[in-house]
Amino acid sequence: MTRNTNLGAILFFSFIVFFFLSLPCCEGIRERKGDAGGGIEGMFVFGSSLVDNGNNNFLENSTAKADYLPYGMDFHVGPSGRFTNGKNVIDLLGDYLGLPSSIPPFSDPSTKGTKIVHGVNYASGGSGILDNTGFIAGNVISLNKQIRNFEEVTLPELRDLVDWRDDGGPPLDNYLFVVGSGGNDYTFNYFLSNSDDQVSLQNFTNNLTIVLSGQLKKLYSLGARKMVVISVNPLGCSPMVLVRAKKELGQCIERLNEAAQMFNLNLRNLVDLLNPQMPLSNIVFLNSYNILNDIITHPSSKGFMEARRPCCEVPSLNEGGNGILCKKGGQTCPNRTKYVFFDGLHPTETVNVIIASKAYASQLQTEVYPTNILHLANI
């Protein structure tokens, strides 16, 4: 009798456990606990060509486009507007976070409805933090305009797709906001100016930081709670700069690198300043400068053979190019995994993999500060 009673209790308990584990809500909880992305539902991306995934494809009168081969030669759909041979840092972060698909570009007319539930990419190659950066590339979308596109177009559409919070605010706590801009403000703005009344580099950098601070605060006011800001890369070591300056291999333009480091120091300090000012928010600083500079300085130890020349054929100004973009249908290096730069400015997918992996899981605060994206995702 006792044995039958115990057996009945075991069967009943097993049924209860099976029933609750079969519920959809519990399935979601189990999957989320096992998800390295910590429940991140999507990304909203702002910035320039290093994080652009095709917005400029849809812009008329823009010369900053990468919608042709050899760009995308290692990407699963071919040329897409990404300024590299394969995936960019945003694609790779999406992989780490377990997002279901690549983030669609805002300018694509099909980016609407359920396509925006997991985020939107607003980045525009050639653009900058300042509105007047990028005129040299024709039509580009400034960072301010990108943020307005998020506010005026995407947010109202999201309201019809997801449940708003009880206080009327957007439910964006589990979205990652990535901002990668600033390099063009130096190379295609400050250092292009020949004006006699040009401000000092320090004053320009301080003003640039103040403008970016306001833009980050604006994103916070719109619901951003988990943000990643990306540093400016070693501007003085890009093939574009080395060719124009006729520098010997191994020598970088220190003035450009000093400008980048000056801005990056301000950016790291800005993270310390803003985190306490914006309740319930967390900002992470990705120091891609240090990561990329380490690769450029010690290429062989990182598995690279070429850290100064571009992988693709880049026409100079005298050849009708701009010293940055690949020649349409031009030749490429035989082994793209051994090159640091794909064109005159942008890294190869192999470098992007290194940057994204360190952004996601590095324990070094010289690479990602004050914590990594894995930890940020789980906060």
Q: Active-site residues: which are they?
A: 49, 343, 346
Q: Within its chain, how far is the Cα of 91 from the centroid?
A: 8
d(CA 67, CA 75): 12
Other beta carbons within 10 angstroms of residue 376's beta carbon come to 21
Q: Which amino acid is at 154?
A: T
- Secondary structure letter of residue 65 according to DSSP: -
Q: Compute the half-sphere exposure of residue 107: CA atoms within 13 Å on the CB side of its CA.
A: 21
- The answer to whether 267 and 285 are in contact (CB under 8 A) is yes
Nearest-CA neighbor of 43 among 306, 373, 270, 310? 373
Give phi and psi for 306, each to the nearest 5. -135, 120
- The answer to whether 53 and 119 are in contact (CB under 8 A) is no
Tokens encoding 135:
């005129």
Q: Is the peptide bond before 24 cis (omega within 30 degrees of 0)?
A: no
Q: What is the dihedral of CA 142, 146, 149, 150, to 10 degrees?
A: -160
d(CA 363, CA 347): 23
Place of tokens 């992988």: 311
d(CA 44, CA 55): 13
Angle, helix 349-361 to helix 89-97, in steps of 10 degrees: 40
Q: How far is CA 319 from CA 150, 174, 250, 314, in A?
A: 39, 48, 25, 9
Tokens encoding 305:
């053979």
- The answer to whether 233 and 183 are in contact (CB under 8 A) is yes
